[in-house]
Chain A
Amino acid sequence: QKEVEQDPGPLSVPEGAIVSLNCTYSNSAFQYFMWYRQYSRKGPELLMYTYSSGNKEDGRFTAQVDKSSKYISLFIRDSQPSDSATYLCAMTWRQGGSEKLVFGKGMKLTVNP
């Protein structure tokens, strides 16, 4: 079992739809939970990160963490064509004295006008 599981999609939605992206994980030692957005031919950029269970909002984006279920989600409200990108979940934990960042495979999202 991989440490971080993410459905790679692809996912195609109409403009204005609510999008839900999810990841599950198996390592209880993960401390920080992040969502990165990666446009085609670009490097990932950090969208949101959170530490504790619960919800964190930033504009149209909401990150949700459920540590008891080892499940994280990213919700995008009123999705726009400019949201079309690959979304990667990522988590950090400490291994051998240094921090490790582990990514999911990424979900490719297309928002159609």
Chain B
Amino acid sequence: DAMVIQNPRYQVTQFGKPVTLSCSQTLNHNVMYWYQQKSSQAPKLLFHYYDKDFNNEADTPDNFQSRRPNTSFCFLDIRSPGLGDAAMYLCATSRDLASQETQYFGPGTRLLVL
């Protein structure tokens, strides 16, 4: 089935040790998003790619970077994870950027920072 896949589902890293989270999609969608969701909080958009165009949210810390080498894959790099970065990271895709376009979410990667 067409879907949004995130690997790994659980990731443990050490304070300050760079970590990369992976997302792939078989929907051939133009837009890929990364959200951070902390416990009992709303998902918070970090950035998105429209095709190769990267769009960073104004309040996303510089510690968070992203790469999209092709249509199917998008990576979230956390350069120096802090304890406050422990969260669920959700990848989502949409066909386009219009308001009515549905976003399809992956299952998320839960990041633990020790």
Contact = CB atoms under 8 A, between A and B. Distances in A.
| Chief secondary structure at chain A's binding surface | strand
Contacts of B91: 43
Contacts of A101: 45, 103
Interface residues of B, number: 27
A99 B97 CA distance: 6
| Chief secondary structure at chain B's binding surface | loop
How many A residues touch the partner, as a band? Answer: 20 to 34
A31 interface: yes
Contact of A105 (B42, B106, B107): B42
A59 B60 CA distance: 39
Given A98-B97, A105-B42, A43 B105 contact: yes
Contacts of B90: 43-44
Given A42-B108, A43-B4, A106 B100 contact: no
Nearest to A108: B40
B63 interface: no
Contacts of B105: 36, 43-45
Contact of A42 (B55, B101, B107): B107
A41 B108 contact: yes
A86 B78 CA distance: 27
B92 interface: yes
A92 B104 CA distance: 15
B21 to A, nearest CB: 13
A43 B92 contact: yes
B43 interface: yes
B110 interface: yes
Given A43-B4, A88-B42, A105-B42, 17 more contacts: A4-B42, A6-B42, A31-B99, A32-B99, A32-B100, A41-B107, A42-B108, A43-B6, A43-B91, A44-B90, A46-B102, A98-B48, A99-B97, A101-B103, A103-B43, A104-B42, A108-B40
16 contacts: A6-B42, A8-B40, A31-B99, A31-B100, A41-B9, A41-B108, A43-B4, A43-B6, A43-B91, A43-B105, A45-B105, A51-B100, A92-B100, A94-B99, A98-B55, A100-B45
